[in-house]
Copies of this chain bind each other. A is one copy, B any other.
Amino acid sequence: MSITHNLTTISISSSSSSFLAPSSFSSNSNSRCQVSLPVKSVGICKCVATPQEAETAYKTKVSRNGNMAKLQAGYLFPEIARRRNAHLLKFPDAKIISLGIGDTTEPIPEVITSAMAKRSYALSTLEGYSGYGAEQGEKPLRSAIASTYYKDLGIADDDIFVSDGAKCDISRLQIVFGSNVKMAVQDPSYPAYVDSSVIMGQTGYYQKDVEKFANIEYMRCKPENGFFPDLSSISRPDIIFFCSPNNPTGAAATREQLTELVQYAKDNGSIIVYDSAYAMYISGDNPRSIFEIPGAKEVAIETSSFSKYAGFTGVRLGWTVVPKQLLFSDGFPVAKDFNRIVCTCFNGASNISQAGGLACLSPEGLKAMREVIGFYKENTDIIVETFDSLGFKVYGGKNAPYVWVYFPGRSSWDVFSEILEKTHVVTTPGSGFGPGGEGFVRVSAFGHRENILEACRRFKQLYK
Chain A residues at the B interface, C-beta cutoff of 8 Å = 13-16, 18-19, 22, 24-28, 30-31, 54, 57-69, 71, 74-75, 77-78, 101, 103-110, 112-114, 116-118, 120-121, 123-126, 128-133, 135-136, 158, 164-165, 167-168, 170-171, 175-181, 192, 195-196, 199-201, 238-239, 265-266, 268-271, 298-299, 311, 313-316, 324-333, 335-337, 339-341, 343-353, 356, 446
- B residues less than 8 Å from A130 (CB atoms): 314
23 A-B pairs with C-beta separation under 8 A: A16-B136, A19-B336, A24-B324, A31-B333, A57-B325, A57-B331, A60-B326, A62-B269, A65-B178, A75-B340, A104-B131, A113-B121, A117-B117, A117-B118, A117-B120, A132-B313, A164-B316, A167-B346, A171-B345, A175-B199, A192-B344, A192-B345, A349-B350
**Cross-interface CB contact of A113 among B67, B120, B170, B339, cutoff 8 Å:** B120
A188 to chain B, nearest CB (A): 17
State whether B129 touches A331 (Cβ < 8 A): no
Residue in contact with A117 in the complex, picked from B24, B121, B136, B270, CB distance below 8 Å: B121
What distance in Å separates the Cβ of A64 from its nearest Cβ neighbour in chain B? 4
- Given A31-B332, A171-B344, A316-B350, A18–B65 Cβ distance below 8 Å? no
Chain B residues in 8 Å Cβ range of A117: 116-118, 120-121
Contact B333 A60 (CB under 8 A): no
Among A15, A71, A343, A353, the one with the most B-chain Cβ atoms within 10 Å of its Cβ is A343
The one of B13, B123, B175, B332 in contact with A64, judged by C-beta atoms closer than 8 angstroms, is B332
CA A105 to CA B131, docked complex, whole Å: 7
| Contact in complex: B116, A129 (CB < 8 Å) | no
Q: Give min CB distance, A394 to chain B, whole Å.
A: 25
Is there an interface contact between A62 and B105, defined as CB atoms closer than 8 Å? no
**In the bound complex, CA of A315 to CA of B128 (Å):** 13
Q: For the complex formed, measure the closest distance between the CB of A28 and the CB atoms of chain B, giving whole angstroms.
A: 5
Residues of B within 8 A of A64 (CB): 328-330, 332, 337
Which residues on the B side are within 8 Å of A106 (C-beta)? 129
Find out whether the CB atom of A270 lies under 8 angstroms from the CB atom of B62. Answer: yes
A120 proximity list for chain B (CB < 8 A): 113-114, 116-117, 120, 352, 356
**Contact call B324/A22, Cβ cutoff below 8 A:** yes
The residue on B at minimum CB distance from A26 is B331
The CA of A347 and the CA of B269, in the complex, are separated in Å by 32
Chain B residues, Cβ within 8 Å of A116 = 117, 120, 123, 352
Q: B339 to A19, Cβ gap below 8 A? A: yes
For A168, list chain B residues within 8 Å (CB): 345-347
Q: Are A340 and B71 in contact, with the CB atoms below 8 A? A: yes
Would you give the shortest CB distance from A178 to chain B, in whole angstroms? 3
A335 cross-chain contacts in B, Cβ below 8 A: 19, 22
- CB A51 to nearest CB in B, in angstroms, measures 11
B136 contacts A271, C-beta separation under 8 Å: no
Minimum distance in angstroms from A456 CB to a CB of chain B: 21
A325 and B269 contacting across the interface, CB-CB below 8 Å: no
Cβ A30 vs Cβ B332 within 8 A: yes
The one of B124, B170, B331 in contact with A59, judged by C-beta atoms closer than 8 angstroms, is B331
Measured CB to CB, the nearest residue on chain B to A105 is B131
9 more contacts with CB within 8 A, not counting A58-B299, A61-B238, A199-B341, are A13-B336, A14-B336, A14-B340, A25-B324, A60-B298, A78-B343, A107-B124, A175-B175, A350-B352
**Which of chain B's residues has its CB closest to A15's CB?**
B336
CA distance A180 to B95 in the complex (A): 48
